[in-house]
Amino acid sequence: MINLLKKLLAYRQIEYLIINSELKILEVSYGLNRFVAPPKLAVLGEDIRHSFPELAGVEELLEEVTNGQRESFEYEGVARSLENKFPLYINISIFTDFNENFREKNLIVLVEDVTEKMVIQQQLVQNSNESNLLLSSLAASEDYINKIITSMADALLVTTNSGVIKTVNRAAEILFDYTKEELVGQKISMVIPKEELLHKARQKYLFLKEQISQDVELICQNKTGDKIIVELSCSVIQTNIEGIHNFVYIGRDITERKKEEEEIRQALEQERDLRELRARFFSMVAHEFGNPLNTVLLSTQLLRSYNDEITEAEKNQYLVYIEESTQEMLELLNDVRFIGKADAGKLKYKPAPVDLIKVCSHITQSIKVTASDKHIINFTINQKFKQKSQSKSNKNDAIFFLIDEKLIRHILNNLLSNAIKYSPTGGKVNFQLTLNDQKAIFLIKDEGIGIPVENQKKLFDSFYRASNVGKIAGTGLGLSIVKQCVDLHSGTIDFVSEIGKGTTFRVEIPLERVS
């Protein structure tokens, strides 16, 4: 038995002792003393408890092993402190020696060097503890980050590189009026209709590694379809899989801010328009009042200084100059008052039964009187009533409509006067009146200088004149007055114009026929 044991132990780092029932050492293997507790050595005849003090106090257990009441006794992980400071760990195993040559039962004590095993176990335990600490730290960090994300006022969405939403925070749910469950797994185009912009940005990053645009303003929509202006920034994060990225979008609702900016912009634009209006007004006053005032002043000076030297005919001519200049200034003041009343909302629409055909005919005749011989004014009437034709006996009877004659005269006088004035070389002025059961349509077409495209947008502004009028006199109030009068009739006005070929104005006025 002992010889066989020796052969088996030779291949392992195990030494042995044989002790009797009194715990005296009977036999010791060659290398055992490197495992004993210094300074004692395992010597034949010595008590094993001197060299292995760990066995003190377990005598009863050893006796049970000797008597066969216990199969074995094991003492694991016994530490030894060595002079070289390196750790040494041993396992002690004790069992009965059943050698029939001995009268009494002895005990075999096996001492195994388990230092490497214990060091590895300790390292594993340490690594496990460190891993647990790291997992706890990661869990705490994740919880901390989740709390931050949850409490963020800005919306957060995380998507795959194909734009599929992976997660959102509470602010995103509130902004888009969807629950997290409704958003996760859906394409981001569900809330950002123009998602192709984000798709292009993602592709640029994935293939070209270019920086994704920051603070992009996009129009998004919520669950009810309402439009929301959102300022988005995007960043890229690496996933657990190499080469696979997620995209993090952080958005802020700037709808109200954009509305406020638009209000401020409009206010600034109105202020700028007001300054331009004031400048045009002063320019108009200086020019349009200056000429007649100079005429009045010069005529009065001549009458006063040369009263005895000039003839009666010359005196009468100077008086005519004064009268015409005064009338010109009075008309200008009336136009300014008219615009002032309209802007202040004091201009009222006062409809009354009016023979519109007769009014248009009279206005046309009065314009013809003041026009030069170079102008040809044509007035035509088209009646397109759905009612049956009138009998010959009453076909020339007047047709009355409820309109404001004064406002109609302002509209037609200004448009016809402009057609004459801005056709300095003459030509045709066609005035067509079309009447039907619902409305009157006035078409006034000239062959004049036309209106530049860049001036057409502001043509109905007060004191505004086109850039190509040159020295043609005017206040810039006529078309503004026309527009105000058309609006009071709940009508419409538009025009088409081509430089050098003329302009056509079209005015539509709703009609109510009076029987």
pLDDT for 391 equals: 42
What total number of domains does the chain contain?
4
Q: Are residues 364 and 332 in the same domain?
A: no
Closest among 448, 439, 385, 457 to 416, alpha carbons compared: 448
Is residue 450 situated within a structural domain? yes
By CB neighbour count within 10 A (0-12 exposed, 13-18 middle, 19+ buried), where does 198 fall? buried
**Of the spans 28-37, 387-396, 449-458, which averages the highest pLDDT?**
449-458
pLDDT for 499 equals: 92
User: What percent of the chain has a predicted confidence (pLDDT) above 70?
Assistant: 81
Quick one: tokens of 350?
Answer: 């006062």
Average pLDDT for residues 441-467, to the nearest whole number?
Answer: 89
- Cβ proximity of 380 and 431 under 8 Å: yes
161: alpha, beta or left, given left = phi > 0 and alpha = psi -120 to 50? Answer: alpha
Is residue 132 situated within a structural domain? no
Is residue 91 situated within a structural domain? yes
Instruction: Write down which residue in 235, 253, 271 finishes a domain.
Output: 253
H helix or E strand, kind and range, residue 332:
helix 312-343
Average pLDDT for residues 327-344, to the nearest whole number?
Answer: 66
Does the pLDDT at position 189 exceed 90?
Answer: no
- DSSP per-residue string spanning 435-494: EESSEEEEEEE--S----HHHHTTTTSTT---TT-TT----S-HHHHHHHHHHHTT-EEE
DSSP 142: H
Is residue 133 situated within a structural domain? no
Other beta carbons within 10 angstroms of residue 375's beta carbon come to 21
pLDDT band at 206 (very low <50, low <70, confident <90, very high): low
pLDDT for 283 equals: 61
Q: Which domain holds residue 280?
A: 261-343
Average pLDDT for residues 479-487, to the nearest whole number?
Answer: 89
Give per-residue pLDDT as tens, 207-238. 555 555 567 788 888 888 888 888 888 777 77
Q: Are residues 295 and 216 in the same domain?
A: no
By CB neighbour count within 10 A (0-12 exposed, 13-18 middle, 19+ buried), where does 345 fall? exposed
Is residue 142 situated within a structural domain? no
Q: Are residues 246 and 356 in the same domain?
A: no
Average pLDDT for residues 93-97, to the nearest whole number?
Answer: 89
pLDDT band at 178 (very low <50, low <70, confident <90, very high): very high
Is residue 147 situated within a structural domain? no
Closest among 417, 322, 314, 325 to 368, alpha carbons compared: 417
Average pLDDT for residues 233-250, to the nearest whole number?
Answer: 78
Does the pLDDT at position 495 exceed 90?
Answer: yes
Q: Are residues 228 and 317 in the same domain?
A: no
Least confident stretch, 183-192, 208-217, 268-277, 341-350: 208-217
Q: Write down the mean pLDDT value for the chain.
A: 81
The predicted model scores a pTM of 0.46
Judge if the upstream peptide bond of residue 39 is cis by omega within 30 degrees of 0.
Answer: yes
pLDDT for 247 equals: 83
CB hemisphere CA count around 224 (13 angstroms) = 5
The edge-to-edge listing of strands for the beta sheet with 492-498 is 375-384, 427-436, 439-445, 502-510, 492-498
- Cβ proximity of 288 and 336 under 8 Å: no
